[in-house]
Amino acid sequence: MHPLRKQRMQWICLMLISVSIATALIGYILRQNANFFYTPSQIANGQAPIGVSLRAGGEVVVGSLKRARESLLIEFHVSDDWHSVKVTYEGILPDLFSEGQSTVVTGKIDDQNILHAVQVLAKHDENYTPPEIAGMYEDRGT
């Protein structure tokens, strides 16, 4: 093989390896930061991964909201009418958050199927339902 052709081939191989490594790293980083949406039924059935950041949504079960007296710790249940998931959150809830309203929470599931939320989103007006929740209700026919 001609030396110039050999050098070009080495550069091409080096570039292919570099692009492959960069693509793999980008894919790994994006996968780690993805928040997948799960319904309470999927979480109750064990379909949601434990210890991975995810989003869950449904309606806040009436009578399930409990606030700690000495801290900002809040516990409530989110339901999709079939199953409910216990959610814990430490922080200030959105102003429009209330029992019986739709919500989407972001957090991690532990081994007892309790979702430890880092973010709680609430319904913002009378006609709004998060797209994931609306799709869930349309599939169900309600």
- The series of mean pLDDT values per 10 residues for the chain, 142 residues long, is 84 91 84 73 82 83 85 88 87 81 86 86 65 69 57
In degrees, rounded to 5, the angle at the alpha carbon of residue 94 between the alpha carbons of residues 137 and 44 is 40
This prediction has a pTM of: 0.62
CATH of 35-140, one of 2.40.50.140, 3.60.15.10, 2.30.40.10, 3.40.50.300: 2.40.50.140
- How many angstroms separate the Cα of 133 from the Cα of each of 5, 36, 51, 82, 125? 59, 13, 23, 14, 15
Q: What pLDDT score was predicted for residue 32?
A: 61
